[in-house]
Amino acid sequence: MPAHHPAPERLLDYAAGSLHEVQALLVASHLAYCPACRAQVAEMEACGGVLLEDLPPEPVSDALFGALMTRLGEAAASPPPAPAPSSGGLFPGPLRRAIGAEPEALDWVRVVPGVHLSTWAIGAGTASACLLRMAPRARVPAHRHTDSEMLLVMTGGFSDEFGAYRVGDVASYDTGTPHHAVADADGECLCLLVQDRPLVFTGPLGWLLNRGFRF
Ligand SMILES: [Zn+2]
């Protein structure tokens, strides 16, 4: 069971279908690991459906309000959907469908020693996604963002100033939050990286690193 989840408003936007497709891909991939968030999203979707069906244009009577609450209760009690089917590959189902390949078939660009980004990337303009691969103990240089970033761990783990992240966990960074990740010592760490803007690296290597980022 993952310990770090997408922010509740991200789950709500996902359930409402209003999340950017790139961020929705990360949330859908997290759901493949996380029964707790699957249950929450199922509940939100059920509530949304009930409200759309039953919300009248006039003030709600006590009787209708009671009926609505009963249906919300039933919706909340219904079991969450089964996890996305997996063929046993490394990627969660939604991501595997988006990429159409497993990691060994992808090409990678070295950012700094031990840290690679996939040449596979999707999204443009307001959001983009690619894969981040870190060798054991590799460090991603300190950087900050002009907008937010999310990382989903798919193999291994990493730590930063805010916590330790394992398979299925989502790390979320708000605009301008400086942070740096260090991969766990016991194996390679593979993440799905989603960002709202291109990265801005701080420090002396910044210019060089930015030359390597092409989404
Ligand atoms: Zn979760």
Which CATH number covers residue 105?
2.60.120.10
Residue 188 Cα to ligand 1 midpoint, Å, equals 22
Containing domain of residue 14, as a range?
8-77
Higher pLDDT, residue 52 or 81 = 52
Residue 202 Cα to ligand 1 midpoint, Å, equals 31
Answer yes or no: do 187 and 103 share one domain: yes
- Listed in sequence order, the residues at least 6 apart from 30 whose beta carbon sits closer than 8 Å to its beta carbon are 2, 5, 6, 37, 92, 152, 168, 170
- How many angstroms separate the CA atoms of 111 and 125, rounded? 22
Residue 16 Cα to ligand 1 midpoint, Å, equals 17
Looking at the domain assignment, is residue 88 inside a domain? no
Counted domains in the chain:
2
Residue 185 Cα to ligand 1 midpoint, Å, equals 25
Looking at the domain assignment, is residue 86 inside a domain? no
- How many angstroms separate the CA atoms of 161 and 148, rounded? 16
Answer yes or no: do 119 and 191 share one domain: yes
Per-residue pLDDT reduced to its tens digit, 84-133 = 444 456 889 999 999 988 778 898 988 888 999 888 888 766 778 889 99
Answer yes or no: do 123 and 205 share one domain: yes
Give me the half-sphere count of Cα atoms (radius 13 Å) on the Cβ side of residue 208.
Answer: 7
Residue 39 Cα to ligand 1 midpoint, Å, equals 9
Q: With cut-offs at 50, 70 and 90, classify the pLDDT of residue 51.
A: low
